[in-house]
Structures are given as structure tokens and as C-alpha cells.
A = this chain, B = another copy of it.
């Protein structure tokens, strides 16, 4: 492993969303600081997944590297949702204390680039517990105190997700390759915090020619088995409507 040189004042934070067929979850890293002498825990709270960038990597690569480290996955959906450089980003006494202990060499003034990541829960669940990383329901995160300004970044990411999901086919990133229409509906409901009428929802999906029915059906479920569908990016790219209308 090559030792990479860190850029001290630029970092990347990832807000990683996952869907467990019930609700939307966020990946948080537990931060724990023990007193050197007594061993007593001084700080225990949560942060987003983030780290400084290296001198020799792009921003996107840095985000990819961080996610790979936490989830073991490559090719995760990743998109910037903003850059954050408030002077008071690291303001609370506990954050300062943390930096005093841990981050000694790093600058006080850090600009962080926020990345929204969407992952298919069924592909992970793996190496999360080795590290102190776990899923938290979005509803719970809203009640938690996160380190630094990460609560703010979380909200910004959530809003970006809600904005984008209405306009781009990114909900599929939260589902496995094959999914049922009920699962698709639940993702939209979980992300947007609403509920849709089943028949109207399916009517809408029927217009999306890039959501394609498979021959497979569910098996071993205690009800009428549902049909599986897949999302074809290829068809999407070809048939996307160049709507030039505006809706404000």
C-alpha cells in the first residue's frame, strides 16, 4: 500500500442512503474518543462517512475510495450535492476536542464536498460491523446529534435526493437488479415521505418503458406472487423525453 499525501484542508463526506424494503436508512460511523489515561469514553457520537482527499486523486475517486472502504462495493451511485466551507463548520467544543486529539496535523478551515450515495442494501450488510459503521433510519437520524455540521449535510443530501428522484431514474439504485412494483412504489414513498395510489402508480410505471417485466415471479411468499421487473438504463437513455416545458 502506497502512502498517500493528504490535502489537509479539503475533505469529502458521503451521505449513503440504503433501502431495506421498508424504510430509508443512512450509513453513519460511530466516533469514539477515550481518555488516554483513564480509558474513559469522552466522546461517543456519529459522523457521516468522510475523509480528507489525497494529493493524487480526484474528488470522485476520494468518495469512491471511502465507500469502497466501508461497504466493499465499487460502482456505487455517487453524485455531488454541494460544497461546504462555512467558517464555523467545526464549532462545538467536542468537535474541537476531537480535532485536538485526532486530527492534530489538519487545518482548522476545511472545505468539504458532499456526496450523495445510493446503494442496494441487499448487496451490503457484510463488513459493516467489523468497522463501527451501521444503518440508521432517516427518521432516527433526524432526531440524532451528528458531529461537525453533518446534520446539516444530511438534510442537504436528503433534499437533493428528493429533488432528483422526481426527475431522474435514481430510485432504482436503491433496489436490487430485480424488483417488484410494490417495492418500487415503497422506495418512492420512503424517499418522498408520501404514499401513492397503487393503481395510479402502476399506470405511471407503465409509461416508463425502461421498467421491463421479467418472466420471473416471486416464490415462497404467503400471497399471490409478484412479478419481477428490471430497470434498463439503455432503454431509458434512448427514450427519455426531451421535455422542454417548465413547471414552476
Contacts and interface: CB of A to CB of B under 8 A. Distances in A.
Contacts of A111: 10, 53, 59, 111, 113
Interface in A42-91: 53, 55-59, 80, 82-87
A192 interface: yes
A214 interface: no
20 contacts: A7-B9, A7-B109, A10-B85, A53-B85, A55-B109, A58-B86, A59-B86, A59-B111, A80-B83, A82-B83, A85-B113, A111-B113, A166-B244, A166-B245, A166-B248, A167-B167, A167-B246, A167-B248, A194-B244, A243-B247
Interface residues of A, number: 35
Q: How many copies of this chain does one complex carry?
A: 2
A113 B168 contact: no
Interface of A: 7, 9-10, 53, 55-59, 80, 82-87, 109, 111, 113, 165-169, 188, 192, 194, 204, 208, 243-248
